[in-house]
């Protein structure tokens, strides 16, 4: 790898490495992430097909096991057993930072309970990338992930109406119209940002207001992955 200078890469330990991977642009992989993924005994991947594209790109030959929402109960104890047998393991999600809105949390929790060292390897994250380019206050923010689709949705939206911190949501392109309509009705008009396809070829970061966004997407099919960043309820603490 070019450009490492005199940085020495660490020795791989018996540990669970929680490794961030790119959210679109493969060049957002860190040197350290490549080193760890190349050196561990096994990679637990949310989607082995997606991760194999990344591994091929970086010529990483480490074996993978799938670890996703539907096999968490069955795979967690097996992976913890491997760690107890002095194996090193890396956890990666479909994209971005594992454990943020994905099932990786369960494995980390189990490793902590089993006294196994957990080592974070930070990198790309859709939440942080959206905040970085959003231009809304970031001294405080609240990440709510995906809003509930049905049960609890109205309660959650109503509860957040008084939230003074900047609010970050993940949203699917199929529900964005409904979400913007409901937020505008419940929260009133406010500055917001729709960050779409971050780090990818068709990245667009739309700095607007909830009513402006409603207008912008009206009668349009929105495509790609989305993060919504919305100004908190007006509060002096949040305007620095
Ligand atoms: N662990 C990931 C992270 O660190 O960002 C997030 C996983 S979550 C299951 C997937 C959601 O993240 C998508 O539905 C979308 O809301 C958001 N997301 C992921 N990649 C994105 C991108 N390149 N641009 C915008 N949003 C993205």
pLDDT, tens digit (0-9, with 9 covering 90-100), for 130-160: 999 999 999 999 999 999 999 999 999 999 9
Which amino acids bring their CB within 6 angstroms of ligand 1? Answer: 23-24, 93, 95-97, 100-102, 125-127, 170-172, 195, 197-200, 225-227
> Is 7 part of a structural domain of the chain?
no
> Is 2 part of a structural domain of the chain?
no
State the alpha helices, DSSP H only, in 30-175: 31-39, 48-57, 72-84, 104-113, 126-134, 153-160
Query: Residue 203 belongs to a domain with what CATH number?
Result: 3.30.950.10
- Tell me the per-residue pLDDT of 106-132, one tens digit each, with 9 for 90 and over: 999 999 999 999 999 999 999 999 999
The predicted model gives 97-101 an average pLDDT of 95
Q: What is the pLDDT of residue 1?
A: 57
Query: Residue 31 belongs to a domain with what CATH number?
Result: 3.40.1010.10
Q: What is the pLDDT of residue 235?
A: 59
Q: Model confidence at 5, in pLDDT bands (50, 70, 90)?
A: confident
Which numbered atom of ligand 1 lies nearest the CA of 96? 4
User: Of the residues 96, 121, 146, which one is the last residue of a structural domain?
Assistant: 121
* Residues 161 and 65 occupy one common structural domain: no
Strand partners for 196:
204, 226
User: Of the residues 93, 121, 149, which one is the last residue of a structural domain?
Assistant: 121
Q: Residue 236: pLDDT above 80? A: no
Q: Which domain holds residue 84?
A: 16-121
Candidates 33, 72, 47; CA nearest to 80 is 72
- Tell me the per-residue pLDDT of 176-230, one tens digit each, with 9 for 90 and over: 999 999 999 999 999 999 999 999 999 999 999 999 999 999 999 999 999 999 9
User: Of the residues 121, 142, 177, which one is the last residue of a structural domain?
Assistant: 121
pTM score, whole prediction? 0.94
Q: Model confidence at 4, in pLDDT bands (50, 70, 90)?
A: confident
> Is 10 part of a structural domain of the chain?
no
From the CA of 170, how far away is ligand 1's center (Å)? 7
Q: Residue 240: pLDDT above 60? A: no
The total number of structural domains that make up the chain: 2
From the CA of 197, how far away is ligand 1's center (Å)? 9
Is residue 36 within 8 Å of 12, Cβ to Cβ? yes
Give φ, ψ of 141 to 5 degrees: -150, 160
Which numbered atom of ligand 1 lies nearest the CA of 197? 24
């Amino acid at each position: 790898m070019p450009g490492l200078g005199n940085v020495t890469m660490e020795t791989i330990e018996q540990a669970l490495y929680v490794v961030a991977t790119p959210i679109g642009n493969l060049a957002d992989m860190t040197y350290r992430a490549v080193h760890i993924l190349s050196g561990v005994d096994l990679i637990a991947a949310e989607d082995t097909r997606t991760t194999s594209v990344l591994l091929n790109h970086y010529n990483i030959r480490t074996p993978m096991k799938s670890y996703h929402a539907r096999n968490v109960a069955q795979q967690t104890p097996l992976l913890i057993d491997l760690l107890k047998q002095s194996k090193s393991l890396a956890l990666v999600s479909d994209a971005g930072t594992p454990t943020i809105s994905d099932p990786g949390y369960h494995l980390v929790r189990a490793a902590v309970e089993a006294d196994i060292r957990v080592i974070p390897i930070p990198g790309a994250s859709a939440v942080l990338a959206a905040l970085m380019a959003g231009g809304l206050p970031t001294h405080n923010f609240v990440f709510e992930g995906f809003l509930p689709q049905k049960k609890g949705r109205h309660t959650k939206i109503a509860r957040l109406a008084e939230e003074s911190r900047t609010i970050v949501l993940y949203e699917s392109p199929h529900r964005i119209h409904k979400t913007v309509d409901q937020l505008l009705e419940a929260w009133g008009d406010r500055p917001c940002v729709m960050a779409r396809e971050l780090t990818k070829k068709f990245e667009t970061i739309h700095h607007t207001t909830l009513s402006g966004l409603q207008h912008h997407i009206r009668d349009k099919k929105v495509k790609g992955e989305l993060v919504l960043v919305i100004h908190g309820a007006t509060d002096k603490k949040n305007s620095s």
